[in-house]
Amino acid sequence: MTDRFQNYADLSAEMLRDDDYQIRAEDRGSAVIIIAPHGGTIEPETSLIAEAIAEERALLKDQRDTIADREAKLALAEQSLKAEQTRLASLRDEIGAQLKVIEEANNQDMTKLVELYRNMKPQVAAGIMDEIDVETAVQVIGAMPERDAAQIMGSFSLVRARLITKILLERSKLPADRNLEGLRLR
Q: Which of 58, 80, 102 is the last residue of a domain?
A: 80
Q: Which of 80, 102, 129 is the last residue of a domain?
A: 80
In a domain? residue 94? no
pLDDT, position 25: 80
In a domain? residue 92? no
Total domains present in the chain: 2
Residue pair 129/117 in contact (Cβ under 8 Å)? The answer is yes
pLDDT, position 171: 82
In a domain? residue 69? yes
Query: What digits encode the pLDDT tens for the residues 151-178?
Result: 999 999 888 898 899 888 888 777 777 7
Query: What digits encode the pLDDT tens for the residues 12-38?
Result: 888 888 887 778 787 877 777 777 776
| Strands, E assignment, 67-175 | none
The interaxial angle of helices 44-118 and 134-143, nearest 10 deg, is 70
Q: Give the chain's mean pLDDT.
A: 87
Residue pair 91/99 in contact (Cβ under 8 Å)? The answer is no
The whole domain housing 163 covers 120-177
